[in-house]
Amino acid sequence: MEAAQGVGFVRLQSCVRRGRYLAAEENGTGVCLRAGHRAASNIVWTVKAAAGADGEAGVLLRGAYGHYLVASNLPAATGPPGAVIAQQSAIADDSSPPRTFLWQFVRKDGSFVVRNLTGRFLRANGKYLRWRRSATVACDDGRLEGSIDEGTEERA
């Protein structure tokens, strides 16, 4: 979790699909991998420290359209086995967020991977053409690395 301390914003870049970032879709519910300009507002995620009901530390990732990144239990329609990641509306300020809302940045090989508190890793799909815009969560070692812009203010 030390990778996220003091960070206000992150871009999550695929280490498999270079130049593609995890992006909030305009519909406010979906996410995708998007090739694009680093200045695009929908690839910037706001990081907010939070703790789950059991006190385990994590962060909430809020997209450009005000919704949070969530790991669902719905099986992915395309791609390798995994579950859908989506955006979901805000949670009450007075309650602990569910584990599906909370994420941790885990250092790995000079970068980091993103793990949900349910134990699944954020993963970029891309083996086949039809999968290349999707991202899922699965129990592998994660293949979506982060690009943290420490100390820079960006507007999401």
pLDDT digits (tens, 9 = 90+) for 83-126: 556 666 766 666 788 888 899 988 877 778 888 898 888 877 66
Total number of domains in the chain: 1
Does residue 153 fall inside a structural domain? no
pLDDT in tens, 50-79: 988 888 899 999 998 888 888 877 666 655
Does residue 84 fall inside a structural domain? yes
Residue 106 has which token pair? 């885990």
CATH code at position 92: 2.80.10.50
Does residue 126 fall inside a structural domain? yes
Does residue 43 fall inside a structural domain? yes
The total of other beta-carbon atoms located within 10 Å of residue 59's CB is 25
Residue 5 CB contacts under 8 Å (≥ 6 apart), including other chains? none
Does residue 39 fall inside a structural domain? yes
Residue 149 pLDDT grade (very low, low, confident, very high; cuts 50, 70, 90): very low
What was the pLDDT predicted at 147? 43
- Across the range 36-47, mean pLDDT stands at 83
Does residue 23 fall inside a structural domain? yes
Which residues are 106's β-sheet partners? 113
Does residue 54 fall inside a structural domain? yes
**Residue-range definition of the domain harbouring residue 140:** 2-148
Does residue 156 fall inside a structural domain? no
pLDDT in tens, 25-39: 888 778 888 887 767
